[in-house]
C-alpha cells in the first residue's frame, strides 16, 4: 500500500531539522520512503490531505483495559484495538483485567495472538501474583518470554511487603518491570471518593490522600533496598509527586503515570452523584490537579494514560455507593490533553513510554517502518456518545468541550482513517 501525506506539519521534537516543518511523507509497503517539501504521488497511492494536517510518531497508552476474555460485553480485544487506532494510538499496554486473569505464559500468548493483524500493537501486562490474590508470585519469567511487558495486579497494591521485595529482586534477572498500585486498602477502608470538603458535604465516605502516599512511600523504601524497576500507575496526589521526585533524585529506577481524568477534573464535579465520575484513584482537589500537571510538565510524572476501563451499563446505572470504579478514555485522550497543554506538550506526553517498557521506539526518518498518527489540533467540539466507538459508554468526558481531532493512524503496513 502506498500512502502520501501532503503538506503535513511534523510534530517531533526528537528530530529538530523537521520539527514543526511542513513536509510531504511518502510511505510504501509500510516503510517511510521519502520526506520532502514536495512529492509527486506515484500510481495507486492513497493521498491524505487536510487544511491543518499535523503528523507525529504514533501514540502509546501505558494502561488500558478491555474485557476479553470473560467480559466481552464490555470490550473485545478487536474492538478495543480499533478504538485505540481511531483515537490515535499505535501501541497500547493492556492491563490484566479479564476473567481469567493472565497469570501464565499461555494467557499472554492468547492475548498476543488475539491482537494480531490490527493497526494498533497490543502489549499485555501479566498478573504479578497467581489469580491476582497477592499471595504467590505468578510465572513472571515465562510470561516475560511470552511477551508480557510488566507485572501488575490491576488496581491492587502489593499488600505483602516481602512479596514486593522478592518480586523486585527476582525480576532483575531478566530486566522485568514490577507495577504496584498506590493505595493502602486498610487506610482507604470503605471510602469511595476523595476525603475532603466535598465528601463531607455529600455524605460520602472518603479515601484520604494518606492512603496513597503511605503506599508510595513504602514501595519506594523497598525499591531503595532491592534495586530493580518499579512503575507506580495512576498517582493522584500532590505529595505522591513529591515522594517520587525525591526517589528519582536518589537515582532509584522508578516511573509513574497519571490518569488524564485526574488532571482534567476535580472532586467538585461529584455534587450531581454522576457515577461516571467514580474512578480509582478518586478525583482529588484542584491543588492536587495543579501539582499533577506540573509533575507531567517537568517529567517527574513519566506518562499520562487514559486508564480506559469499559464497564457495562448495569455496573454504572446504579446508586453512587454501589457503582463500579472506572471511565473509558481512549477517544477523549487527545482532546482533553490538548485542551490543557500546548500541542507540542500533548504530543510529547502521548509518545513517551515505549523505551521504559521495552517496546520498539519508532522514528520519523526515511527507510524505517511507518508508525504515525495524524491529526488536526485546532478542532473544538463537545464530546458526546457519537464520538465513542467503545462497546461501553461510561465516559467521564461526556458533554465536555475538547480540542483536537484525530484523523488517522498508520502502523503495521495498515492505515486507519477516521470519518
What residues are annotated to the active site? 307
Task: Record the cell numbers describing residue 369, joined without a space.
Answer: 517502518
C-alpha span between 409 and 57 (Å, rounded): 9
Residue 202 parent element (H or E):
helix 197-202
Sequence-ordered list of residues with C-beta below 8 angstroms from that of 140, at least 6 positions apart, any chain: 126, 128, 148, 151, 167, 170, 171, 174, 176
35 forms bridges with which residues in the sheet? Answer: 25
Residue with grid cell 514486593, as numbered in its chain: 164
Label the pairing between strands 414-417 and 401-411: antiparallel
**Cis status of the peptide bond prior to 264, with omega within 30 of 0:** no
Strand runs (DSSP E) across 114-170, as ranges? 121-124
Residue 6 parent element (H or E):
strand 2-10
DSSP 100: S
C-alpha gyration radius of the chain: 21
Amino acid at each position: 500500500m502506498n500512502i502520501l501525506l501532503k503538506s503535513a506539519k511534523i510534530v517531533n521534537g526528537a528530530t529538530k531539522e523537521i520539527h514543526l516543518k511542513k513536509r510531504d511523507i511518502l510511505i510504501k509497503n509500510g516503510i517511510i520512503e521519502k520526506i520532502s517539501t514536495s512529492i509527486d504521488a506515484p500510481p495507486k497511492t492513497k493521498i491524505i490531505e487536510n487544511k491543518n494536517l499535523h503528523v507525529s510518531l504514533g501514540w502509546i497508552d501505558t494502561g488500558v483495559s478491555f474485557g476479553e476474555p470473560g467480559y466481552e460485553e464490555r470490550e473485545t480485544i478487536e474492538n478495543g484495538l480499533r478504538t485505540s487506532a481511531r483515537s490515535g494510538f499505535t501501541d497500547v499496554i493492556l492491563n490484566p483485567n479479564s476473567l481469567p486473569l493472565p497469570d501464565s505464559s499461555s494467557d499472554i500468548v492468547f492475548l498476543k495472538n488475539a491482537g494480531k493483524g490490527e493497526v494498533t500493537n497490543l502489549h499485555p501486562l501479566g498478573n504479578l501474583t497467581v489469580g491476582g490474590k497477592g499471595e504467590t508470585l505468578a510465572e513472571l519469567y515465562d510470561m516475560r518470554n511470552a511477551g508480557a511487558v510488566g507485572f501488575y495486579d490491576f488496581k491492587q497494591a502489593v499488600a505483602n511487603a516481602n512479596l514486593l521485595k522478592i518480586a523486585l529482586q527476582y525480576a532483575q534477572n531478566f530486566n522485568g518491570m514490577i507495577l504496584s498500585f498506590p493505595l493502602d486498602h486498610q487506610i482507604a477502608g470503605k471510602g469511595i471518593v476523595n476525603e475532603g470538603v466535598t465528601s463531607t458535604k455529600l455524605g460520602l465516605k472518603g479515601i484520604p490522600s494518606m492512603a496513597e502516599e503511605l503506599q508510595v512511600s513504602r514501595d519506594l523504601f523497598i525499591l531503595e533496598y532491592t534495586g530493580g524497576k518499579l512503575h507506580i500507575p495512576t498517582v493522584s496526589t500532590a505529595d505522591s509527586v513529591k515522594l517520587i521526585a525525591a526517589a528519582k533524585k536518589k537515582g532509584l529506577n522508578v516511573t509513574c503515570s497519571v490518569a488524564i481524568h485526574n488532571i482534567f477534573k476535580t472532586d467538585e464535579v461529584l455534587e450531581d452523584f454522576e457515577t461516571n465520575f467514580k474512578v480509582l484513584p478518586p478525583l482529588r482537589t484542584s491543588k492536587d490537579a495543579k501539582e499533577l500537571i506540573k509533575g507531567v510538565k517537568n517529567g517527574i510524572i513519566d506518562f499520562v494514560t487514559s486508564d480506559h476501563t469499559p464497564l457495562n451499563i448495569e455496573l454504572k446505572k446504579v446508586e453512587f455507593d454501589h457503582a463500579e470504579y472506572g471511565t473509558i478514555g481512549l477517544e477523549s485522550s487527545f482532546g482533553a490533553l490538548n485542551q490543557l497543554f500546548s500541542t507540542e506538550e500533548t504530543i510529547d506526553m502521548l509518545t513517551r513510554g515505549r523505551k521504559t517498557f521495552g517496546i520498539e521506539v519508532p522514528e520519523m526518518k526515511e527507510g524505517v517502518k511507518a508508525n504515525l498518527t495524524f491529526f488536526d489540533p485546532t478542532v473544538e467540539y463537545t464530546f458526546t456518545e457519537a464520538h465513542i466507538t467503545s462497546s461501553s459508554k461510561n465516559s467521564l468526558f461526556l458533554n465536555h468541550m475538547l480540542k483536537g481531532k484525530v484523523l488517522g493512524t498508520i502502523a503495521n503496513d495498515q492505515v486507519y482513517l477516521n470519518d
